[in-house]
Amino acid sequence: MIKNISKNKLFDLLSSFKRQKIAVIGDTMVDLFIWGSVKRISPEAPVPIVEVSKESQTLGGAGNVAANIAALGGTAYLVSAMGNDSSSDLLVRLLEEKNISSKYLVEDSDKPTITKTRIIAASQQVVRVDKEIKGEPSPDAQEKILINIEEIIPKSDGVIISDYGKGVVGDNVLRKAIELSRKHKIPISVDPKLDNFKKYYGVTTITPNTKEAIEGMKASNIEMDTDIAELGKKILEFINSDSVLITRSEKGMMLIEAGGKVTNIPTRAREVYDVTGAGDTVISTMTLALAAGADFLSAAEISNFAAGIVVAKIGTATASPKEIQSAIEEFYSK
């Protein structure tokens, strides 16, 4: 068990989150959940009939990143695009419920608001239906997004690029966000997508999962921990970042820092029900910690505790400071 970071240091970090302001730039979506049970198969086709018991809605994509920041006590400035439809109204309402401003959301009437509908029965996802049109926003929407980036980064303590490959994070947006973050000497973190993987040159940290790291670098024969470590070093060098945090599901995380230091961090999850949104929690918590002045290992460790909480919940979820504090207390009492 890694306990080379003091419990009090992690607690101090956690309490500092409420003073941090984070710009979140990326693809925002609405996650709809239809909950029910399956008791029979349809006579019309070999598919289950789900008897609906309830429905719920939550923020997805970059919206979930912003929700994680808000849940941890920070302030999130969300820069993104949405359609002109009923789902956009729902998106704005969901943001308001989380005390997240919709001021920097840009309307793009050429596309629908991205919506993902999941049907869940007996705690298992039966099917997912996506409503989206991939591709960069309209020229007018892109220009407004760049203007918003120029406005919020100077007043932020950290920046997150939440790239789901839907179009908001284009070349111009990436360049502008990285350039301004470096200029104002604030950390910029990226949750990557394969299409843009090699365009993140100059970011502070990048948080791919194992699959994204392998496919993003077109690597092969990656099996041992030493292979993952070498891959991480190649990513770090290729994009000139200060650190790479590779999330490894039940194996935890691997942190690779500039200078070659590699740290394996075992998972802190006690139960795993649903990994949906866990990457959003990791990058949110890590960036809040970096914005508060944490070193990379402390930032990675506290994000690991947060991720361990959300994977024990069904659906897109967040972790609260109280839950993280309890998890840390439990770990350090062993």
Residues in CB range of 241: below 8 A, 6 or more apart: 200, 202, 203, 204, 205, 206, 235, 258
Stronger pLDDT, 93 or 331, i.e. the higher one: 93
For residues 117 and 4, which has the higher predicted lDDT (pLDDT)?
117
Question: With bands split at pLDDT 50, 70 and 90, how would you rate the model's confidence at 80?
Answer: very high
46 is a domain residue: no
Task: Name, in order, each residue with C-beta under 8 angstroms of 297's C-beta and a sequence gap of 6 or more.
Answer: 5, 255, 257, 263
What's the confidence (pLDDT) of residue 71?
Answer: 94
pLDDT greater than 70 at residue 277: no
**DSSP 3-state of 143:** helix
- The Cβ of residue 112 has, within 10 Å, a number of other Cβ atoms equal to 17
**Are the CB atoms for 57 and 113 separated by under 8 Å?**
no
Percentage of the chain beyond pLDDT 90 is 72
Burial 31-45 (b: 16+ CB within 10 A, else e): bbbbbbeeeeeeeee
Phi, psi (deg, nearest 5) at residue 44: -85, -25
Q: How far is CA 152 from CA 184, 248, 313, in A?
A: 11, 33, 32
Name beta bridge partners: 257: 243
Q: What residues act catalytically?
A: 280
Count of domains for the chain? 1
The reply to whether 322 falls in a domain is: yes
Supply 131's token pair. 């409503």
Q: Is residue 71 part of a domain?
A: yes
pLDDT tens string 217-242: 888 878 788 899 999 999 999 999 99
Q: Is residue 273 pLDDT above 50, yes or no?
A: no
- Measured distance CA(88)–CA(226) in Å, rounded: 46
Q: What is the pLDDT of residue 271?
A: 57
Confidence of residue 3 (pLDDT cuts 50, 70, 90): low
pLDDT(272) > 70: no
Tell me what the mean pLDDT of segment 198-204 comes to: 91
* CATH code (residue 92): 3.40.1190.20
Tell me: pLDDT of 68 over 50.
Answer: yes
10 Å Cβ neighbour count for 149? 22
> Over 70: is that where the pLDDT of 264 sits?
yes
Report the relative pairing of strands 115-121 and 21-26 from DSSP bridges.
Answer: unpaired
Q: Classify residue 115: in a domain, yes or no.
A: yes
Q: What is the mean pLDDT of residues 230-256?
A: 91
Q: Provide the CA 188 distance to its chain's centre, in angstroms.
A: 13
Q: Which range marks the domain in which residue 162 is found?
A: 7-35+51-332
Model pLDDT, residue 1: 45
Mean pLDDT of all residues belonging to the chain: 91
80 vs 35, 61, 146, 148, CA distance in Å? 29, 10, 10, 9
User: What secondary structure does DSSP assign to 223-266, as a single string?
Assistant: -SHHHHHHHHHHHHHHHT-SEEEEE-GGG-EEEEETTS-EEEE-
User: 41 in a domain, yes or no?
Assistant: no
Looking at residue 269, what is its pLDDT?
Answer: 60
Tokens found for residue 19: 């003073």
User: Is 42 within the bounds of a domain?
Assistant: no
Which pLDDT band, with edges at 50, 70 and 90, does 4 fall under?
low
Specify if 43 maps to a domain: no
pLDDT band at 315 (very low <50, low <70, confident <90, very high): low
For 85-133, write each residue's pLDDT tens digit.
Answer: 999 999 999 999 999 999 999 999 999 999 999 999 987 889 999 999 9
Which residue from 116, 103, 50 is spatially nearest to 77, judged by alpha carbons? Answer: 103
> Is the distance from CB of 163 to CB of 206 less than 8 angstroms?
no
Supply the pLDDT for residue 256: 96
45 assigned to some structural domain: no
Distance CA 133, CA 318 (A): 27
